[in-house]
Amino acid sequence: MSEKYKICLDIGGTKVLGAIFDSRENIAFRIKKKTKAGGDSAQNVEEVIISVVEELLHESGLKASQIEAIAAGAPGVIDQSAGVILFSPNLPWRNYDIRTPLKKKFGVPFFIGNDVNVGVLGEYKYGAAKGYHDVVGLFVGTGMGGGLILNDQLYTGHGFKAAEMGHMVLDPEGPLCNCGQRGCLEAFSSKQGISAYIREQTARGRESEMADAVKNGVFKSKALKKALANHDTVTCEAVDRACHYLAIATGSLINTFSPDIFIYGGGVIEAVGDIFLEKILAEVDRYCMPSIRPTVELKNAALGDDSVIYGALAMINEA
């Protein structure tokens, strides 16, 4: 019997990371492709995913018949049981059945889930949270996502809509969030929140080496790392503010779930996670019940850019 492989994808608005896992769960081949996944229609998203899978097969020399299944993490509210993307902020996905065309195209099962849920699952199975039973995760990227493992099970709530921790309202008079609310954790602590603060300060005439990086959107993580290393005042203020609200949110979530471990992931954490974790640890005790805090470990994700693809692998294995 020939060896079967698994294709795992991390789908975002600006890139798709794809990997082929062999039967021993080693990455046999991988690609990272920049793409405008959103385009102007959901059909474009489907075309991007298909092109990435085809490129993985072509470059690795494998045939579709050698693939056991395909799984992906993607941003948004996703009905995992039906393979339908119900809603995705900043991308043209509304009640979109992505499973049917992918199964038809490649003739194998296709699984999809919210990217941060999948990323936390990856850390639970293969990364920083391996061996723990109750896990809370926050992933800091362009937006802010959360994930929960409760009693060794991924918790997705009614209609797969749970763990939208980025939209905890921490200040009802705070900055406007893309979800329509004010003062969400995402509006303070994500790339969008940090970028908005820097734009606001530079508009007031303050200088920052991040001014160009945030002028037309969000910064690249390497620009943030460089500005922090250079002790750029406005950038340091923005990060202090982001970590302050992350500490508040962390404390509240620890009080709510009493997890074994709390993990931080995403592009910002991959780039400057040590700085963020140090600042969060310096504050978080103020917002936790003293009887709960000592029983919870706080760590950065261990798999970096690969958290979601390893979570996708876990989805296939558990199907």
Residue extents of the structural domains in the chain: 5-119+307-318, 130-301
**Res. 14: pLDDT tops 80:** no
Residue 133 in tokens? 């039973």
**Res. 230: pLDDT tops 90:** yes
Q: Can you state the angle between helices 221-229 and 267-283, rounded to 10 degrees? A: 50
pLDDT band at 109 (very low <50, low <70, confident <90, very high): very high
**Res. 289: pLDDT tops 80:** yes
**Res. 37: pLDDT tops 60:** no
Mean pLDDT, rounded, for 102-117: 94
pLDDT band at 295 (very low <50, low <70, confident <90, very high): very high
Q: Assign 3-state DSSP to the chain and report helix, strand, coil percentages, each to 5.
A: 45, 25, 30
| CA nearest neighbour of 183 among 191, 195, 193, 173 | 173
Q: What's the CA dihedral at 217, 219, 220, 226 to 10 degrees?
A: 160
pLDDT value for 41? 57
Mean pLDDT, rounded, for 79-85: 91
**Res. 38: pLDDT tops 50:** no
pLDDT value for 15? 79
pLDDT value for 169? 97
Distances from the Cα of 128 to the Cα of 123, 198, 233, 250, 309, angstroms: 5, 32, 32, 17, 15
Share of the chain above pLDDT 90, in %: 82
**Res. 36: pLDDT tops 70:** no
How many other C-beta atoms lie within 10 A of the C-beta of residue 44?
16
Contact 70, 77 (CB under 8 A): no
Q: Which fold has domain 130-301?
A: Nucleotidyltransferase; domain 5 (3.30.420)
pLDDT value for 216? 86
The length of the chain in residues reads 319
Establish whether domains 5-119+307-318 and 130-301 are of one fold: yes
Q: How far apart (Å, rounded) are the C-alpha atoms in residues 196 and 38?
A: 22
**Res. 25: pLDDT tops 50:** yes
Q: What is the pTM (predicted TM-score) of this model?
A: 0.94
**To the nearest whole number, what is the mean pLDDT of the chain?**
93
pLDDT value for 69? 97
pLDDT band at 175 (very low <50, low <70, confident <90, very high): very high
**Res. 108: pLDDT tops 60:** yes
CATH superfamily of 5-119+307-318: ATPase, nucleotide binding domain (3.30.420.40)
pLDDT value for 179? 87
Calculate Rg over the CA atoms of the chain.
20
Contact 218, 14 (CB under 8 A): no
Q: What's the CA dihedral at 31, 35, 37, 38 to 10 degrees?
A: 160
How many other C-beta atoms lie within 10 A of the C-beta of residue 268?
26
Contact 77, 113 (CB under 8 A): no
Mean pLDDT, rounded, for 32-40: 63
pLDDT value for 1? 54
